[in-house]
C-alpha cells in the first residue's frame, strides 16, 4: 500500500506512469511516420462458400515496423483511433483495397473475388467517407459490388441516423456493408430492419465453441443468426472457422460464407490464390 511504503512508492508509481506515457508517445510518433514511410501493408484472409471455393477475402492491416517487425492491428489501431490517425490510415487501406481489386479484375481467375475492408467509427463518421469510398472505386475502375465495408454494432449505435444514411447511400451505389463481430456488441435487432446492410459476420466466439461437448447454446445462437439473416435476405459469414467439424455445423445451419484458419490465415496477396487453388 502506497501510504505505508512512503514516498518511494509514489516515485516508483510516477516512474511507471512516465514510462508508459513515453512508450505511448514513441508509438504515436512511429505511427505518424509510418504513413509517409509506407510501412503499412494488407494481408488477405480467404472467404469460401459452402463448397469450399474461394469467393473473396478480408483485408487485414499490418504494420511493417522497421525495428519491431510485423505489428498486428490490435497493438496500434486503438491508439490510431484515439489520435485520429486512423483516418489517414483507413483512407490508405481503402485505396490499397481498391487497387488490389483492380489487379484482380485483370485476371480471369480472380475477377469474381470480393474484398472486405474494416472501417473504424472515426473514419466512417467523417463527412466525406462515402465520397472517399466512391472515388476509390471509380479511380480503380472496379465494380462497386466487389468491395465490402465491415462495420461493427457499436459503430452503428454511435449515430444510427447518420449510419443509416451512409449505409443506404453506399448500397445505392452498389457497395455492400457487413456487420462484423455480430452478436457481441450492443445488439439491437431493430436496426436490422432499418439499415440496408447486406451481410452478418457471426463472431468467432460463437464459432469456436461449436465442436465442443457443451455447445448447445452456441449452436442455438448460430442457427438463430443464420436463419434470421436468411429471412432478411442477408449473407451470413461465419468467422473463425478452425476445424472441419465447425465448418460442417455452420454449413448445416446454412451460413453461406466461411472464414478462418481452416481455409487459411491472413497472408500476403501472392499466397492467397495458390493456397486455395490447392484446397478447392
Ligand atoms: P476482425 O475484422 O474481426 O478480423 C478477424 C480477426 O480474426 C483477424 O485478426 C484474423 O486474423 C483473426 N482470425 C481469423 N480467422 C481466425 C481463426 O480461425 N482463429 C483465430 N484465432 N483468429 C482468426 P487481426 O488481423 O489481428 O485483426 C484484428 C482486428 O483488427 C480485426 O478484427 C479488425 O477489427 C481490426 N482491423 C484489422 N484491419 C483493420 C483495418 O484496416 N482498419 C481497421 N479500422 N481495423 C482493422
Ligand atoms: Mg473484420
Ligand atoms: Mg470480425
Ligand atoms: Mg473480431
ipTM: 0.97
Closest atom, ligand 1, to C-alpha of 119: 44
pLDDT at 273 over 60: yes
pLDDT at 279 over 70: no
pLDDT at 270: 93
pLDDT at 113: 98
pLDDT at 280 over 50: no
The three cell numbers locating residue 171: 448500397
Lowest mean pLDDT among 93-97, 147-151, 216-220: 216-220
Closest atom, ligand 1, to C-alpha of 93: 41
Reported as a pLDDT band with limits 50, 70 and 90, residue 13 is low
pLDDT at 278 over 60: no
Closest atom, ligand 1, to C-alpha of 72: 26
What is the distance of C-alpha 12 from the center of its chain?
39
Helix 86-105 crosses helix 129-140 at what angle (to 10 degrees)?
30
The mean pLDDT value of the chain amounts to 92
pLDDT at 12: 66
Instruction: Give the percent of the chain with pLDDT over 70.
Output: 92
Contact predicate 61/89, CB 8 Å? yes
Residues 105-140 pLDDT 10s: 999 999 999 999 999 999 999 999 999 999 999 999
Residue 202's DSSP bridge partners are 182, 238
Residue 203, ligand 1, Cβ within 6 A: no
Task: Give the max Cα distance, the chain.
Answer: 72
Reported as a pLDDT band with limits 50, 70 and 90, residue 10 is low
What is the distance of C-alpha 114 from the center of its chain?
14
pLDDT at 4 over 70: no
Q: Which of 75, 77, 177, 179 to mutate to test the pocket of ligand 1 (most atoms within 8 A of CB)?
A: 77
Report, as an integer, the average pLDDT of 74-86.
95
Confidence (pTM): 0.93
pLDDT at 162 over 90: yes
pLDDT at 275: 46
Residue nearest ligand 1's atom 35 by CA: 73
Residue nearest ligand 1's atom 9 by CA: 60
Report how far apart, in Å, the C-alpha atoms of 111 and of each of 69, 108, 166 are.
Answer: 32, 5, 27
pLDDT at 121: 97
Q: How many CA atoms lie within 13 A of 150 on its CB side?
A: 22
Residue 267's DSSP bridge partners are 44
Amino acid at each position: 500500500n502506497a501510504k505505508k511504503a512512503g514516498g518511494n512508492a509514489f516515485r516508483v508509481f510516477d516512474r511507471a506512469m512516465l514510462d508508459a506515457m513515453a512508450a505511448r508517445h514513441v508509438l504515436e510518433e512511429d505511427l505518424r511516420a509510418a504513413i509517409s514511410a509506407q510501412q503499412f501493408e494488407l494481408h488477405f484472409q480467404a472467404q469460401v462458400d459452402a463448397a469450399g471455393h474461394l469467393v473473396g477475402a478480408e483485408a487485414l492491416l499490418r504494420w511493417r515496423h522497421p525495428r519491431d517487425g510485423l505489428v498486428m492491428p490490435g497493438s496500434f489501431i486503438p491508439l490510431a483511433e484515439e489520435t485520429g490517425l486512423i483516418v489517414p490510415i483507413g483512407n490508405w487501406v481503402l485505396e490499397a483495397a481498391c487497387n488490389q481489386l483492380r489487379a484482380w479484375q485483370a485476371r480471369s481467375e480472380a475477377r469474381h473475388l470480393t474484398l472486405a475492408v474494416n472501417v473504424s467509427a472515426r473514419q466512417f463518421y467523417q463527412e466525406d467517407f462515402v465520397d472517399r469510398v466512391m472515388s476509390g472505386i471509380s479511380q480503380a475502375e472496379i465494380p462497386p459490388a466487389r468491395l465490402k465495408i465491415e462495420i461493427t454494432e457499436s459503430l452503428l449505435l454511435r449515430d444510427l441516423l447518420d449510419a443509416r444514411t451512409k449505409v443506404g447511400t453506399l448500397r445505392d451505389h452498389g457497395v455492400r456493408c457487413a456487420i462484423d463481430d455480430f452478436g457481441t456488441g450492443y445488439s439491437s435487432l431493430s436496426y436490422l430492419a432499418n439499415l440496408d446492410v447486406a451481410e452478418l459476420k457471426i463472431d468467432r466466439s460463437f464459432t469456436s465453441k461449436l465442436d465442443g461437448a457443451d455447445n448447445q447454446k452456441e449452436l442455438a445462437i448460430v442457427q438463430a443468426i443464420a436463419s434470421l439473416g436468411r429471412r432478411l435476405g442477408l449473407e451470413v459469414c461465419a468467422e473463425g472457422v478452425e476445424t472441419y467439424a465447425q465448418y460442417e455445423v455452420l454449413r448445416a445451419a446454412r451460413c453461406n460464407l466461411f472464414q478462418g484458419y481452416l481455409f487459411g490465415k491472413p497472408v500476403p496477396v501472392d499466397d492467397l490464390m495458390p493456397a486455395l487453388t490447392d484446397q478447392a
